[in-house]
A = this chain, B = another copy of it.
Amino acid sequence: MVSPSEAIARRAKLAFDAASQRLPSGSRGDAVRNNALLKIKTHLEANKAEIQSANEKDMALAKELVAQGKLSSSLVSRLDLFSKPGKWQGMLDGLEDVARLPSPLDECTFAKRLAEPSGSSGALDLYRITCPIGVLLCIFEARPEVIVNIAALAIKSGNAAILKGGKESVNTAAVMARVLADALASTEIPRDFIQTVETREDVAGLLQQDKYVDLVIPRGSNALVRSIQQQATMAVMGHADGLCCAYVHDDAPLEGTLGSVLESKTDYPAACNSLETLLLHEVHLEGPMWLALSASLIRAGVTLHCDARSLDALSLNQALDRSKLVAATDDDFDTEYLDLHLAVKTVTSLDEAITHINTHGSHHTDAIFTKALAEQTQQEQEHESAAGTFVRSVSSANVYVNASTRFADGFRYGFGTEVGISTGKTHARGPVGLEGLVIYKYVIRGQGNGPQRSADFTASGRQWSHADVEKRYPQL
Residues in A lying within 8 Å of B, measured CB to CB: 16-17, 20-21, 23-25, 29, 106, 112, 114, 120-122, 124, 126, 128-129, 131, 133-134, 210, 214-215, 229-230, 233, 235, 237, 253, 255-260, 262-263, 267, 351, 354-355, 358-359, 372-375, 381, 384-385, 387-389, 391-393, 395-404, 406-409, 412-414, 424-427, 429-431, 439-455, 457, 464, 466, 474-476
Chain B residue at smallest Cβ distance from A120: B255
Please state if B391 and A443 are interface contacts (CB–CB under 8 Å). Answer: yes
Chain B positions within 8 Å of A426 at CB level: 133, 214-215, 235, 237, 426-427, 439
Tell me which of B24, B259, B402, B454 contacts A384 (CB under 8 A). Answer: B24
Contact between chains at A389 and B447 (CB < 8 Å): no
Chain B residues contacting A449 (CB-CB under 8 Å) are 253, 255-256, 372, 375
A409 to B17, CA, bound (A): 26
**Selected contact of A429 from candidates B24, B396, B439, B446, CB within 8 Å:** B439
Pick from B358, B407, B452: contact of A402, CB under 8 Å: B452
Tell whether, in the assembled complex, residue B455 and residue A267 are in contact, meaning their CB atoms are under 8 Å apart. Answer: yes
**Complex alpha-carbon distance, A343 and B321, angstroms:** 80
Q: Given A406-B453, A476-B387, A398–B256 Cβ distance below 8 Å?
A: no
Q: Which residues of B contact A425 (CB under 8 A)?
A: 133-134, 214-215, 235, 439
Q: Which B residue sits closest to A236, measured CB to CB?
A: B235
Q: Given A230-B233, A399-B443, A426-B426, do A453 and B259 touch, yes or no (CB 8 Å)?
A: yes
Q: A263-B455, A373-B476, A403-B452 are in contact. List 18 more A-B contacts (CB 8 A).
A: A20-B393, A23-B392, A106-B392, A114-B412, A120-B255, A129-B391, A229-B233, A257-B451, A259-B453, A262-B451, A263-B454, A372-B447, A391-B476, A400-B445, A402-B445, A403-B445, A404-B452, A408-B442
Number of this chain's copies in the complex: 2
5 residue pairs A–B, Cβ–Cβ below 8 Å: A21-B351, A235-B425, A258-B451, A267-B454, A399-B441
**8 nearest A-B pairs in the assembled complex, by CB-CB distance:** A259-B451, A414-B466, A402-B446, A403-B452, A403-B446, A387-B476, A214-B425, A253-B449
- Asked whether A21 and B229 contact (CB < 8 A) given A124-B403, A373-B445, A444-B403, the answer is no
**A441 B430 Cβ-Cβ under 8 A:** yes
The secondary structure that dominates the A interface is mixed
Chain B residues contacting A16 (CB-CB under 8 Å) are 395
Cβ contacts under 8 Å, A375 to chain B: 449
Give chain B nearest CB distance to A380 CB in angstroms.
11
Residues of B within 8 A of A413 (CB): 112, 114, 126, 442
CB closest chain-B residue, reference A121: B256
Q: Specify which chain B residues have a CB less than 8 angstroms from the CB of A373 in the assembled complex.
A: 445, 447, 475-476
A412 touches B454 (CB 8 A): yes
A118 to chain B minimum Cβ distance, whole angstroms, is: 12
Identify the closest chain B residue to A387 (Cβ). B476
Q: How many angstroms from the CA of A178 to the CA of B47 in the assembled complex?
A: 70
- Chain B nearest Cβ from A329, distance in angstroms: 21
Distance in angstroms between the alpha carbons of A424 and B359 in the assembled complex: 30
CA distance A403 to B474 in the complex (A): 15
B407 close to A454 (CB less than 8 A): yes
Contacts A426-B426, A444-B400, A447-B372 hold; do A393 and B21 have CB atoms under 8 A apart? Answer: yes
Assess the B441–A396 pair: CB atoms within 8 A: yes
Residue in contact with A395 in the complex, picked from B17, B29, B351, B400, CB distance below 8 Å = B17
Partner of A256, one of B230, B452, B475: B452
How many angstroms between the C-alpha atoms of A128 and B399 in the bound complex? 10
What's the minimum C-beta distance from A94 to chain B, rounded to whole angstroms?
Answer: 18
Distance in angstroms from A29 CB to nearest chain B CB is 8
Task: Decide: B450 and A256 in contact? CB cutoff 8 A.
Answer: yes
Complex partner residue of A263 from B407, B443, B451, B474, CB under 8 angstroms: B451
Cβ contacts under 8 Å, A400 to chain B = 443-446
Write the nearest CB–CB distance from A367 to chain B, whole angstroms.
Answer: 8
In the complex, what residues of B have CB within 8 A of residue A21's CB?
351, 354-355, 389, 393
Q: What separation, in Å, do the CA atoms of A114 and B398 have in the docked complex?
A: 15
Q: Please, which residue of chain B has its CB at the minimum distance from the CB of A258?
A: B451
Task: List the B side residues contacting A215 at CB < 8 Å.
Answer: 425-426
Minimal Cβ-Cβ distance residue in B for A113: B414
Q: Contact at A114–B414, with CB atoms within 8 Å? A: yes
Task: State whether B114 touches A452 (Cβ < 8 A).
Answer: no
